């Protein structure tokens, strides 16, 4: 069993199909949706973890692609900009999963481990320097 964090982008027209249902039912995948913005007649987004056997995940993703849903390998739901981060550490006490964490206790440098991010968006609200942003 492996887990992959995925960023799905739905074109305008395909948002009514029960894609997630089929991923669970037909491909034996465990789905953990972090965040979704799927509105009729607008481009939609879904950030989720899928857990299952690697071949089931691959088949499931082929199924998803057949609806013109794109699996964006680069895009992340929450982005942390190391250029804007001042390493103040204000986000640390608001990040529930330690996705934002102290890399080096001596220098107090902050790092972002995207796989741990559950997209709660606390850091967006609490970063005084605008270093955290959302793709949607």
- Which residues would be at the binding site for ligand SF4 (CB under 6 A)? 78, 80, 85-91, 94-97, 99-100, 110, 117-123, 127, 129, 131-132
Is residue 127 classed as helix, strand or coil in its secondary structure? coil
70 secondary structure, DSSP code: E
Q: Is 1 exposed, middle or buried (0-12, 13-18, 19+ CB in 10 A)?
A: exposed
| Contact code string over 64-103 relative to other proteins, x by CB under 8 A | ----------------------xxxxxxxxx-------x-
Residue 97 binds which entry of other proteins, ligand SF4, none, with Cβ cut-offs from 5 to 8 Å by kind? ligand SF4
The nearest distance, CB 109 to other proteins, in angstroms, is: 5
Q: At residue 70, what are phi and psi to the nearest 5 degrees?
A: -100, 140
Residue 2 binds which entry of ligand SF4, other proteins, none, with Cβ cut-offs from 5 to 8 Å by kind? none
The nearest distance, CB 57 to other proteins, in angstroms, is: 35
Beta carbon nearer to other proteins, 11 or 130: 130
Closest CA to 97 of 132, 121, 125: 121
The nearest distance, CB 123 to ligand SF4, in angstroms, is: 3
Instruction: For residue 103, give every residue at least 6 positions away whose Cβ sits within 8 Å of its Cβ, in sequence order, or none.
Output: 109, 110, 111
Is residue 71 classed as helix, strand or coil in its secondary structure? strand
By CB under 8 A, name the binding residues for other proteins. Answer: 86-94, 102, 105, 107-110, 125-126, 128-130
């Amino acid at each position: 069993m492996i887990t992959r964090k995925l960023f799905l982008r739905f074109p305008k027209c395909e948002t009514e199909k029960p894609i997630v249902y089929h991923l669970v039912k037909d491909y034996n995948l465990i789905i953990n949706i972090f965040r979704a913005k799927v509105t009729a007649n607008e481009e939609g987004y879904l950030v989720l973890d899928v857990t299952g056997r690697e071949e089931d995940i691959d088949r499931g993703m082929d199924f998803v692609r057949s609806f013109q849903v794109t699996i964006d390998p680069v895009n992340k739901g929450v982005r942390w900009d190391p250029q804007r981060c001042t390493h103040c550490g204000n986000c640390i006490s608001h990040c529930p999963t330690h996705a934002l964490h102290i890399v080096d206790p001596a220098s107090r440098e902050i790092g972002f481990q995207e796989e741990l991010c559950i997209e709660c968006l606390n850091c967006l609200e609490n970063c005084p320097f605008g270093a955290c942003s959302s793709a949607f």
